[in-house]
């Protein structure tokens, strides 16, 4: 059995991990590294987790899956001082050391995916642009290179990209096409000196921001002080096509205003746009499987966008595929 997996985020790599012993697995990733939304950006001397910020583990399969990584120190608990802002006012506080564990990859979120990819056949910088079926599935990348004779093709990419790539006779095609995803801007800020904040992580409501975190506070990070800021979905959707420099400068001013701190010692700034970051539509399926065509779709967006949802979607799909007695 040959399986092609499109996307090397957590879903794709978890699929590869579980299916690797059942046949030949090849994973295709358009980016220059694995991780997807669990990405980390390094611009010396700064590090930024510019996608997923942390995750919880509430189900037994996921808890069992991450336990070996916890033992190896690849995953550690982040005991942050958490606050909630409404506009520029703090309305709630908690210390995560007293709450359910929040976990991060060490020294970056992408370390988890890098670890999972070590024993898998992953082709980075390879964007699959089309697929065709004759005596099996053939995949074509954007340079015209073909990859032949796959029994299964599994897409772990956002719903709009999945419907563009997969054939319209996929039984779930119309349903997947109705699943809208919203954008998000990730603002990365590096400072010469520490800011005097009385929190490490903050959710923000009633604002054009949704999240502010001292990324350098996470375990295993360097001492170079960094802030990681996410815009609200509403702001990103309204401004996704605007000039990035203008968006970045606005979000910097908004962050400075909410924190009531002068960013005079800011030494690095950049922005990343996630076109498909979070679900706008609630999804009732954890996976989309077409047994006749031997096509499937899964991902974090199938289960609410969380890291654990990404794993669970892949885990459920593996169990369904195995029941087909391949």
The answer to whether the CB of 179 falls within 8 A of the CB of 164 is no
Question: Residue 63 is encoded by which pair of tokens?
Answer: 């808890």
pLDDT at 325: 59
Cβ atoms of 40 and 109 closer than 8 Å: yes
- Give the pLDDT confidence score for residue 324 in this predicted structure: 79
SS3 of 257, please?
A: helix
CA-wise closest residue to 6 among 156, 124, 123, 122: 156
Using CA atoms, how far apart are residues 220 and 159, in angstroms rounded to an integer? 34
Alpha carbons 117 and 114: distance in angstroms, whole number: 5
Identify the residue whose tokens are 């060490």: 106
Tokens 């999972």, located at residue: 116
CB 45 within 8 A of CB 224: yes
What whole-number distance in Å separates Cα of residue 24 and Cα of residue 19? 8
Calpha distance 99→182 (Å, rounded): 29
- The domains of the chain, with CATH numbers, are 2-322 (3.50.50.60)
CA distance linking residue 61 with residue 83, whole number of Å = 30
Can you list the residues of the chain whose pLDDT is less than 50? none
Based on C-alpha coordinates, what's the Rg of the chain? 20
Is the torsion defined by CA of 221, 102, 38, 205 positive or negative?
Answer: negative
DSSP class of 100: S
The predicted pLDDT at position 139 comes to 98
Q: pTM (2 decimals)?
A: 0.95
pLDDT of residue 279: 85
Task: Tell whether omega for the bond before 107 is within 30 degrees of 0, i.e. cis.
Answer: yes
37 neighbors 279 (Cβ within 8 angstroms): no
Q: Give the pLDDT score at 326.
A: 53
CA 272 – CA 324 distance, rounded (Å):
41
Residue 323 is predicted with a pLDDT of 86
Supply the DSSP string of 186-255, one letter for each residue: EEEEEESS----S-SEEEEESSSEEEEEEGGGSTT--SS-EEEEEE-HHHHHHHTTS-HHHHHHHHHHHH
């Amino acid at each position: 059995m040959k399986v092609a997996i499109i996307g090397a985020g957590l879903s794709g790599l978890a699929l590869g991990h579980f299916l690797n012993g059942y046949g030949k697995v090849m994973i295709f990733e358009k980016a220059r590294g694995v991780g997807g939304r669990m990405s980390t950006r390094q611009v010396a001397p700064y590090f930024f987790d510019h996608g997923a910020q942390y995750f919880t583990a509430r189900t037994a399969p996921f808890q069992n899956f991450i336990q070996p990584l916890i033992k190896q120190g690849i995953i550690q608990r982040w005991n942050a001082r958490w606050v909630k802002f409404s506009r520029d006012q703090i309305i709630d506080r908690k210390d995560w050391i007293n709450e359910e564990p929040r976990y991060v990859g060490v020294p970056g979120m992408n370390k988890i995916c890098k670890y999972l990819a070590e024993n898998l056949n992953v082709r980075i910088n390879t964007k699959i642009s089309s697929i065709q079926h004759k005596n099996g599935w053939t995949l074509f990348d954007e340079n015209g290179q073909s990859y032949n004779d796959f029994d299964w093709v599994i897409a772990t990419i956002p719903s709009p990209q999945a419907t563009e790539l997969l054939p319209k006779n996929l039984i779930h095609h119309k349903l997947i096409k109705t699943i809208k995803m919203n954008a998000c801007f990730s603002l990365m800020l590096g400072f010469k000196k520490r800011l005097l904040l009385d929190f490490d992580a903050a959710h923000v409501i009633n604002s054009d921001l949704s999240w502010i975190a001292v990324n350098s506070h996470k375990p295993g990070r360097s001492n170079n002080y960094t802030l990681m800021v996410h815009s609200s979905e509403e702001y990103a959707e309204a401004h996704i096509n605007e000039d990035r420099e203008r968006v970045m400068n606005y979000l910097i001013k908004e962050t400075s205003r909410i924190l009531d701190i002068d960013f005079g010692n800011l030494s690095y700034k950049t922005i990343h746009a996630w076109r498909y970051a979070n679900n706008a539509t609630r999804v009732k399926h954890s996976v989309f499987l077409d047994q006749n065509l031997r096509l499937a779709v899964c991902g974090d967006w199938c289960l609410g966008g969380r890291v654990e949802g990404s794993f669970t979607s892949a885990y459920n799909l593996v169990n369904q595929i195995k029941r087909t007695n391949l």
